[in-house]
Amino acid sequence: MTKKKNEKLQNSMRLEVWQILTKVFTNHGQSHVLLNRWVQNHKTLTDRDKNFVFQLVHGTLTWQPYLDFLTRQLVHPQRTPLSVQVLLWMSLYQFYFMDRVPNYAVVNEAVEIAKDQFPPYAKLVNGSLQNALRREGFHSLETLAKEKPTSCYFALKYAFPQILYTKLKNDFGQEIAEKIMADSLNKPRYSFRLNTLKCPSQDIFSNLGLNPEEVYQGLTDESFWTTNPKAIQTLLNQGFLTIQDQASILVAKTLLADNLSSDLKIWDMCAAPGGKLTHLAALMKNQGLILATEINPQKIPFIEKNLKRLGVKNVQLKQQDALCEPPLANFDAILLDAPCSGLGVLKRKPEIKLNFDFKTLSDLTNTQAQLLDQAAKHLKSGGQLVYSTCTLNPDENQKQIAHFLQKHQDWKLLKEEQIFGFENKTDGFYIAKLQKK
């Protein structure tokens, strides 16, 4: 028997949000991938609808630890399906973080979604949300501060899992930990890099016609950020600009700071998504050779598209695990932008903090160590290596490099920098530059 369609949910953006969030929480889907795919399948929607979906998905993920704490005051988590809890999380987010959304509309549509997706729980959803609205001070952080231990209060205030908050505090102290957590709640800047292969001059205002009241200088000559993403869309499509965070832009510049000869042979070991790869090509002015390897075959077409869009011609792209022997050897320089826990990009991918666990972290550090050993085998004497991550975790950063140097006595550390996102409104990054003696 065919399920009767609920006409009240036709073109419902909240239903779309619930479906995306359910995939994140039940299938470990990546929100940015799911949202990009959703946009491609809904090109006729208004900007208002798209912005609503993006805000509600991202906001619910960002504040999930806090929303989950509230939800546990309303329903029994072990007796309530996760899909129902997801609906409650996103509804509470609308109550407390989206002022322009009427509460009655939130409740009514949540109940309709429940009737459509899990009818036995429709009354529970309605009663729980009405209960939340009736209870004075229900979501108040001031109330929590009086009732909860200090550590629990800070975790809820910044919507952080307790285990991760404790690690940050142990690694960096209370003050830095709070700054990291507070920064993770901020909206990331829309940063981009000038593609000097197509526009050699840094004067993007006169050469590309950009408005200096909407576009601002970043941390380097070719990095910028804008308050109006639509203003640069055409230039992005034409390859004059490319999206890249300001901290990420520092990586390629660090590798080539001491060597810009025309015949360099470089290995980018983990090339996706390709921002640092194409930046290397631009700094090298399309001269020399860059071997770019990427383990994930699904990311190869995306890299190829960017190489073409930006006019990159000195890259040899190969789908391959970097731990396998590369087709070339004896490199002048190597970039290892290693797979990592991603704790520096929580502003963009908030589900990372929700999935954090020490077993995965241990696996990552082992892989990073193997990749560093592989790089050591294929760099010529006198060559330089940049190891970078988009995490703040010392086990993957400073301690990883210290272990490598202890193991490889013929190497020396030239430069090491931990970038916190709260310092300049960037992503968090770690960059270490080493040289083989």
Binding site, by residue number, is: 270-276, 294, 321, 337
Residue 340 catalytic? no
Phi and psi at 293, nearest 5°, equal: -110, 145
Phi and psi at 419, nearest 5°, equal: -105, 120
Angle made by CA atoms 44, 46, 51, in degrees to the nearest 5: 120
Are the CB atoms for 312 and 281 separated by under 8 Å? yes
Of the candidates 265, 383, 387, 272, the one whose C-alpha atom is nearest the C-alpha of residue 314 is 265
Of the candidates 347, 419, 357, 427, the one whose C-alpha atom is nearest the C-alpha of residue 167 is 357
Placement of tokens 């004059």 in the chain: 240
Q: Helices 122-134 and 103-117, interaxial angle, to 10°?
A: 160
Would you list which residues are annotated within the binding site for S-adenosyl-L-methionine?
Answer: 270-276, 294, 321, 337
Among candidate residues 152, 324, 340, 390, the one labeled active-site is 390
In angstroms, the CA 396 to CA 406 distance is 15
Which tokens sit at 20? 């995306």
**Three-class secondary structure of residue 373 per DSSP:** helix
Phi and psi at 158, nearest 5°, equal: -105, 10
In angstroms, the CA 105 to CA 395 distance is 47
Are the CB atoms for 393 and 382 separated by under 8 Å? no
Are the CB atoms for 153 and 144 separated by under 8 Å? yes
In angstroms, the CA 387 to CA 268 distance is 11
Active site residues: 390
